[in-house]
Amino acid sequence: MTNPMLLRISLSLIITTGCVILSSVSVQANERISPPDSTDFAVGKIANQIDQLIEKNLIQEEKTPSELVNDEDFLRRASFDLIGGIPNVDEITEFGLNPDESKRADKIEELLARPEFAQNWARYWRDVIYSRATDPRSLRQQPVFQKWMAEQIEKGESWDKITSSLITATGDASKEGSTALMYAHSGNAVEIASETSRIFMGIQIQCAQCHDSKDESWKREQFHQLAAFFPRMIVKRNSQDKPRTFSVLSNDPSPAKAKIKDPFKRFEQLIANPQPLFKKFDSNNDQKLQKKEVANAPFGKQFGRILKKADQDGDKALSVIELKSFKPPKPRRNRSGEHFMPDLNDPSSKGTKIDPVFFVSNKEIETGLSDQERRQALAKMITSPENEWFAKAYVNRIWSTLNGHGFYEVIDDMGPERYAMHQEVIDLLSQGFVANGYDMKWVYRVIMNTQTYQRQIADPMHSDLTDEFAANTPVRLRADHLFDSLICALEIQEPLAAKKRGKGLRGNVNSARSQFQALFGHDPSATSDETSGTIPQTLFMMNSPRINRYLLGKDSVVGKLVETFENDDDVTTEIYLKVLGREPHEEEEAIMTEYLAEVGDRQEAFEDLYWSLLNSTEFMTKR
């Protein structure tokens, strides 16, 4: 536990620089934001019910839940989960000293109200969408999406509205953030169908794309019925724009387009019986058709192309035999505005026309509807309270991200065939989410106010707690969280909008962040055992001058601490608080005392400690 005396003393002694990212907005201590409380799904009530349900199951399984975390750990965990970074030393101290019984609930409210909450989760959803993007051009629009998403979260937009916007979006992708998902897959109906199902319903229906799966409820045709909601959309380059930009557009077939859909169609009928053709057009009677002879024929414009293909003797004229040998090319684009399911036995054929049907409810819509009508109808069906998977997918994802494990093992692979742990808990949360009008903050409030969330970590692989719900599971930090933690721990003071170029993390922060993202980023939908570190990441943490330059010498963060504190344990404590957001344990202090003696130089020894903690598992983990 925190030692308030020590903290009070250390506070008065040092000038804490604070962390720019975390302290840009301060919330008055006595300002209370009360959660909505009038429904059957009041936050406190549901949080209690969840704890009771889980505890009941744990008792049946003869499992003992782990203890609740201390204030330091709670604050670090909640800060990562809501605002994406670590608390600074002041904040840790204030929180530890606050005697209020409701301080954790209050802290959750305070963090939810910060603009960093919107920023943090906008980045999360950016990674969800773009980690699977199949069109690399779309990656440039990530900031546009992020800005849009942050605005939605900031203004408290509900999850069903956000989902509908993403599914029905049109417009210039360089300006309209809601086009992200459509543009990320270049408007491809098949990819968009599978991603829509995966992200918003947690159902991987695309397995049925090629074959009827034996262990799935849904058939191949149903996947293509979902794709049939999206065939009338295209991604098109905006003319003259430099650099190139693109728009997501509805592309409904117009009657005019339908008329010219196949220039060879009529010609095909004509050459089936070519004699009358020759009678009419072979003006020099040489039994061959030349270009000038057919200039006014209905196929005159196509004659050049026909000649190229069919002129076997190279005399620039076509005989009856040559003409008959001509096979008109297949029309290049599907202009019908409908989706076709490929014929697996004949992949080059057009396939079967499929009309839109929503696989969950088996609801059909009228045939021949426009792009907007189709996508709006789908958005409505997906976000309908009758579709249990919509609420469940969101709740499972957020629970899983906050607690380190989900009700369903894989965050985005749910569905009727998958097993859910503590089924009644996810049902209760989903019902509450629906009853609260898909208010995203309600989900965070409930989960984070449960004892289940506030339990100490345990390692499911190395403990008797085979039921992960008896503890919180530690997970590796996402790239953005690690980046912000580094900036904070190294006390790099930098306004976020810095445009100045320079070396190290002090340079252009946005570009430093995106480089960092490129090195440390991972797909947030991947299960946690898929997201371990890499050698280049380790090399960066160990040896990159971009980090380590801030640790070396008298003017560094280490140097200042060494100068301020004469007592070695005080320096150790400050470093632990800055890097790991907690005080050192006794054994850790002992190791450090020993190390100081071994090295003999305070500055050098504490530089090594700072380096070691930045490279520790704990620094890179949400505990």
Partner 1 sequence: MTIHEQVQFGRRGLNRRRFMHHVSAAALAAGTLSFRDVVSLQAEELQKQNRSMILLWMGGGPSQLEMFDPKPEHENTGETKAIETSVPGIQIAHAWEKTAGIMEEVALIRSMTSKEGNHRRATYTAHTGYAPSGSVKHPSLAANVAYRLAEESVSIPSVVSVGNTLGAGYLGVDYDPFIIKDPGKLPENTSPLVPEKRFERRLGLLGRLEDGFANQGAKSLVTSHKKLYKKTQNMIMSPDLQAFDLSEEPQELQDQYGKNKFGKGCLLARRLIEAGTTFVEVQMGGWDTHTEVFERTTKQAGQVDPAFAALVTDLKERGLLETTTVVLMGEFGRTPKLNARGGRDHFPRVFNLAMAGGGIRGGQVIGSSSPNGQEVHERPVTIPDLYNSICHSLKLDPTDETMSPLGRPMAIVEGGETVSELFG
Backbone angles phi, psi at 621, to 5 degrees: -125, 145
SS3 149: helix
Shortest distance in whole angstroms from residue 284 CB to partner 1: 28
CA distances from residue 574 to 89, 387, 583, 609 in whole angstroms, order as listed: 8, 51, 8, 11
The residue (of 320 and 599) whose beta carbon lies closer to partner 1 is: 599
Most distant pair of Cα atoms in the chain: their distance: 112
Q: Which of residues 125 and 444 has its CB atom nearest to partner 1 in the complex?
A: 125
Q: Minimum distance from CB of 344 to partner 1 (Å)?
A: 13
Cβ neighbours of 451 (radius 10 Å): 16
| Least distance to partner 1, CB of residue 209, Å | 8
Is there a contact between 285 and 272 (Cβ–Cβ < 8 Å)?
Answer: no
Minimum Å distance from CB 451 to partner 1?
16
Residue owning tokens 């890179």? 620
Query: Residues in the site for partner 1, rule: CB under 8 A?
Result: 66, 132-136, 185, 191, 194-195, 198, 204, 206-207, 410, 413, 456-459, 461-463, 471, 474, 476, 526-527, 530, 532-536, 538-540, 542-545, 548, 552, 585, 587-588, 591, 595, 598-599, 604, 608-609, 611-613, 615-618, 620-621, 623
Shorter beta-carbon distance to partner 1: residue 115 or 533: 533
Segment holding 246, helix H or strand E: strand 246-250
**Residue with smaller CB distance to partner 1, 163 or 194:** 194
Per residue, the 3-state secondary structure of 58-123, as one string, reads HHHCCCCCCCECCHHHHHHHHHHHHHCCCCCHHHHHHHHHCCCCCHHHHHHHHHHCCHHHHHHHHH
In the complex, the smallest distance separating the C-beta of residue 186 from partner 1, rounded to whole angstroms, is: 10
Nearer to partner 1, 170 or 531 (CB): 531
CB of 99 to partner 1, least distance (A): 26
How far is 18 from 22, CA to CA, in rounded Å? 8
CB atoms within 10 A of CB 492: 20
What is the C-alpha separation between 427 and 447, in angstroms, rounded?
14
Closest to partner 1 by CB, 9 or 542: 542
Write down the least CB distance from residue 215 to partner 1, Å. 9
Burial code of 290-321, b = ≥16 C-beta within 10 A, e = fewer?
A: beebbeebebeebbeebbeebbeeeeebbbbe
Q: DSSP letters of 425-444?
A: HHHHHHHHHHHTTT-HHHHH
Nearer to partner 1 among residue 204 and residue 450 (C-beta):
204
Tokens of 552: 């070396």
Q: Measured from the CB of residue 190, what is the shortest distance to partner 1 in angstroms?
A: 9
d(CA 44, CA 442): 11
Q: Which is nearer to partner 1, 21 or 475 (CB)?
A: 475
Please say which residue, 256 or 461, places its beta carbon nearer to partner 1: 461
Q: Residues 22, 417: contact at Cβ < 8 Å?
A: no
Kindly tell me which of 39 and 603 has the beta carbon lying closer to partner 1. 603
Calpha distance 87→30 (Å, rounded): 19
The nearest distance, CB 133 to partner 1, in angstroms, is: 8
Distance CA 193, CA 231 (A): 10
> Shortest approach of partner 1 to residue 505 CB, angstroms?
14
